[in-house]
Amino acid sequence: MYRLAIIGFGVVGQGLAEILLKHKARLKKENGFEFSVVAVSDFVKGAAYDPKGLDLAKVLALAKENRISEYRGAKTGWNAIDTIVKSNADVVVEATFTDIKTAEPAYSHFKAALKSGKHLVTTNKGPTALFFREVAALAKSRKLQFRYEGTVASGTPALNLAGLCLAGNEIREIRGIVNGTTNFILTNMEKGKSYGEALKEAQDLGFAEAIPDADVEGFDAMAKVIILAKAVMGADIEVADVARTGITKITLDDINSAKAEGKRWKLIGRVAREGGAVRASVRPEKLDVADPLAGVGGATNALTFSTDLIRNVTIIGPGAGKIETGYAILVDLLAINRTAPAVKKAAPKKAAKRMKKIRKPAKKAKR
Amino acid sequence: MYRLAIIGFGVVGQGLAEILLKHKARLKKENGFEFSVVAVSDFVKGAAYDPKGLDLAKVLALAKENRISEYRGAKTGWNAIDTIVKSNADVVVEATFTDIKTAEPAYSHFKAALKSGKHLVTTNKGPTALFFREVAALAKSRKLQFRYEGTVASGTPALNLAGLCLAGNEIREIRGIVNGTTNFILTNMEKGKSYGEALKEAQDLGFAEAIPDADVEGFDAMAKVIILAKAVMGADIEVADVARTGITKITLDDINSAKAEGKRWKLIGRVAREGGAVRASVRPEKLDVADPLAGVGGATNALTFSTDLIRNVTIIGPGAGKIETGYAILVDLLAINRTAPAVKKAAPKKAAKRMKKIRKPAKKAKR
């Protein structure tokens, strides 16, 4: 039985809650996974904590009106750090907003979770991209799990595919379509729309933000490339190392002349071993239509892993969505359930003592 | 340290041996996997057994001239069953030829391996398709692993993807291109060749047999569909339940008129939940070019898993090849290494006693 604390109750957190609520019996039967959600904390929607478990249907209903803090019978009003540190959770699910520049406040949540002895599962690209090594080392030193499948292509298995299904290979290159918004825009331009028209449609449909830079300038894809480089290739790649070009300068003429050559423009994130180094880039590339990535239209994501033993393996699937991204958290929880069986935790009354410890960490962490 | 016995030393067994020989240090360092190959047994190429481990370079060289039985210093001349039962192996790798009608002799090898307390890893479709439940139950009753990633799409992860990366989903449908030979033929027909010409080219290149029925009549794809149905969906699907049509009646006219509609013919293996039942088929289907399977050309394999939580996820990769299929065995060995750490085994001198036990199995197997 795992006790979960969900930090950030936006689309992803709610998607997870909906899955957990609907499929509790199936997850127990098929996957041997038992859980209770003991805490939910959201900056806007409110927070509630019950060490014996919250009623997810009630939390979801209250969340719609930003009234989670009115949950009766629960401890309410805790902020994220209080919830992470003081709750009796075994696993912290971090699903707050991504800040690719500072990684905060999510990075503080990551550290608080691991330092208070809790496994960490996240979809948050900011701290995963910027501080991957630090977080992974902290988790390892505490013998805890840090899982982040949803940071690259929502629940489409990119990281688990590389880590489990392609184990034993040397992965030489990863290239893919890791931003659904720009792929949606480029796909629509192939239907004859200008960049401006295609962007506007993406904005109207909620795929793109009013200020669309994170997508169209390639920052979102860059974060994912950094995560792939660090997590899959163990490479020292930081923001400054990624050659990044967005799609804003692609014109309808470019699209059409590519089409005439039997090619297609795609925004490709790439990380590759070249000689002794690892190179990373995000840029529009003109792909041959025979390339499995060329056929990937709309908001779908796809990644091709080039390896020494099984050659090229391509995975294609959703890159966004409430349930799809909530599922990314679930698949990580199931991995923890397979590999780090739940153990009895200290009673909640000991939380104060734990919190003290966290503020003043032991000098030598056990390794 | 796992001790391996390789039964059947054709393309797959040799592919595995080449990988193990070349990447021994990497597998230890990156995957914590240590092994020695204690036995190789092949009906034609000969057999050798050394409880302390064979020199794989020597075995590979001798295999070229069918002289494995001349390996100096090893026990030679054992048949497959002797090797399985009497060797001190922890894992039996079964890579003999596939017989989709009787499943023999591989099925006997499967049973002997598990009954003598050895994990079983295979690429052999025959017994995996026909006797999946029996073998899985036997493995479970002995607390041993039965792994078979290479039975569907060589080392392209089909089964591990479903079992690990898509865990927690209800898989509602699996459809795919699981026979590279027929896909090669259909792809060549799109270039204007007749069925006969395209078949002959596949035969000349060694993709298709002189009697090509296993491929072109859909028997090979059928075996894979049965494995997917049983292993991924837990379904009661047998040979008689699979609606099977090959590609022999597809004409160049069919190909061309599909092309004019923006479609492509593919030999699709499919297994789907429909109402309370599971339906399975192998037949040519006319796919829209926007379907990720439509763009898969040549001898490549591809599978789309339709699920309730992460919707459609498609995997594309090699469907055959010496190293590619050898890799399928390796990825299964690494999974055993992750989930069933090697334990000390009885000394080889106790083999005779074990063999006796196998011939007269205990009435009540432990469960």
Residue A347 has pLDDT above 90, yes or no: no
In a mutational test of the B interface, the residue from A18, A305, A309 whose CB has the highest number of chain B CBs within 10 Å is A309
Please check whether residue A362 lies inside any domain of the structure: no
Q: Tell me the average pLDDT across B338-345.
A: 71
More confident residue, B236 or A345: B236
**Omega before residue B105 within 30° of 0, cis:** yes
Residue B251 has pLDDT above 80, yes or no: yes
Residue A353 has pLDDT above 90, yes or no: no
Determine the distance in angstroms separating the CA of B321 from the nearest CA of chain A, rounded to an integer: 9
Please check whether residue A98 lies inside any domain of the structure: yes
Report pLDDT for A276: 87
Residues in B closer than 8 angstroms to A313, CB to CB, are: 156-157, 315-317
Find, among A121, A116, A87, A118, the residue nearest to A106 by Cα: A121
The question of whether A143 is a catalytic residue gets the answer no
Report pLDDT for B365: 38
Report pLDDT for B341: 74
Report pLDDT for B353: 52
Residue B329 has pLDDT above 60, yes or no: yes
Q: Can you spell out the DSSP letters for A58-114? A: HHHHHHHTT-GGG-TTSEE---HHHHHHHS--SEEEE-----TTT-TTHHHHHHHHH
Determine the distance in angstroms separating the CA of A305 from the nearest CA of chain B, rounded to an integer: 10
Report pLDDT for A340: 85
Q: Do A309 and B290 touch (CB under 8 A)?
A: no
pLDDT digits (tens, 9 = 90+) for B65-97: 999 999 999 999 899 999 999 999 999 999 999
CATH of the domain at A211: 3.30.360.10
Element (H, E) at B302: strand B300-307
A222 Cβ contact partners less than 8 Å away, ≥ 6 residues apart: A100, A129, A239, A242, A244, A269, A282
A159 Cβ contact partners less than 8 Å away, ≥ 6 residues apart: A148, A149, A151, A152, A227, A228, A231, A232
Claim to verify: residue A181 and residue A275 sit in the same structural domain: yes
Claim to verify: residue B165 and residue B300 sit in the same structural domain: yes
Claim to verify: residue A118 and residue A169 sit in the same structural domain: no
Average model confidence (pLDDT) across chain A: 93
Residue B324 has pLDDT above 90, yes or no: yes
Residue A355 has pLDDT above 60, yes or no: no
Residue B343 pLDDT level (bands cut at 50, 70, 90): low
Q: Do A310 and B155 touch (CB under 8 A)?
A: yes
Q: Considering A224, A230, A263, A266, which one is annotated as catalytic?
A: A224
Residue B348 has pLDDT above 80, yes or no: no
Claim to verify: residue B23 and residue B172 sit in the same structural domain: no
Determine the distance in angstroms separating the CA of B88 from the nearest CA of chain A, rounded to an integer: 25
Q: Tell me the average pLDDT across A17-27.
A: 98
Residue A346 has pLDDT above 80, yes or no: no
Report pLDDT for B347: 45
Instruction: Please state, for a pLDDT cut of 70, what percent of chain B lies above it.
Output: 93
Please check whether residue A208 lies inside any domain of the structure: yes
More confident residue, B245 or B358: B245
CATH of the domain at B125: 3.40.50.720
Q: Please name the residue of chain B whose CA is at the shortest distance from the CA of residue A159.
A: B165
Q: Considering B115, B118, B224, B230, which one is annotated as catalytic?
A: B224
Instruction: Please state, for a pLDDT cut of 90, what percent of chain A lies above it.
Output: 89
Task: Please tell me the distance from the alpha carbon of residue B312 to that of residue B177, in angstroms, as a whole number.
Answer: 15
Report pLDDT for A169: 98
Cβ pairs A/B, distance under 8 A = 130
Residue A361 pLDDT level (bands cut at 50, 70, 90): very low
Structural domain for A245, as ranges: 158-318
Claim to verify: residue B217 and residue B93 sit in the same structural domain: no
pLDDT digits (tens, 9 = 90+) for A261-316: 999 999 999 999 998 899 999 999 999 988 999 999 999 999 999 999 999 999 99
B2-7 and B35-42 beta bridge pairing: parallel
Residues in B closer than 8 angstroms to A168, CB to CB, are: 23, 27, 30-31, 33, 327, 330-331, 334
pLDDT digits (tens, 9 = 90+) for A90-100: 999 999 999 99
CA end-to-end distance (rounded Å), chain A: 26
Report pLDDT for A343: 59
pLDDT digits (tens, 9 = 90+) for B5-38: 999 999 999 999 999 999 999 999 999 999 999 9
Claim to verify: residue B173 and residue B307 sit in the same structural domain: yes
Find, among B304, B299, B301, the residue nearest to B152 by Cα: B301
- Give how many domains chain A has, as a whole number: 2
Claim to verify: residue B164 and residue B286 sit in the same structural domain: yes
Please check whether residue A101 lies inside any domain of the structure: yes
Residue A77 pLDDT level (bands cut at 50, 70, 90): confident
* B208 within 8 A of B191, measured Cβ to Cβ: no
Residue A207 pLDDT level (bands cut at 50, 70, 90): confident
Report pLDDT for A182: 97
Please check whether residue B361 lies inside any domain of the structure: no
Please check whether residue A7 lies inside any domain of the structure: yes
Residue A206 pLDDT level (bands cut at 50, 70, 90): confident
Claim to verify: residue B172 and residue B121 sit in the same structural domain: no
Average model confidence (pLDDT) across chain B: 93
Residue A224 has pLDDT above 90, yes or no: yes
Claim to verify: residue A92 and residue A221 sit in the same structural domain: no
pLDDT digits (tens, 9 = 90+) for A113-134: 999 999 999 999 999 999 999 9
* A12 within 8 A of A18, measured Cβ to Cβ: no
Please check whether residue B172 lies inside any domain of the structure: yes
Task: Please tell me the distance from the alpha carbon of residue A266 to that of residue A287, in angstroms, as a whole number.
Answer: 7
pLDDT digits (tens, 9 = 90+) for A326-343: 999 999 999 999 998 775
In a mutational test of the A interface, the residue from B309, B327, B333 whose CB has the highest number of chain A CBs within 10 Å is B309
Report pLDDT for B340: 85
More confident residue, B358 or B179: B179
* B267 within 8 A of B284, measured Cβ to Cβ: yes
> Which residue among B167, B289, B310 places its CB closest to the CB of A334?
B167
Q: Tell me the average pLDDT across A174-198.
A: 96
Q: Do A160 and B164 touch (CB under 8 A)?
A: yes
Tokens 């040397």: give the residue: A170
Report pLDDT for B338: 94
Claim to verify: residue B135 and residue B189 sit in the same structural domain: no
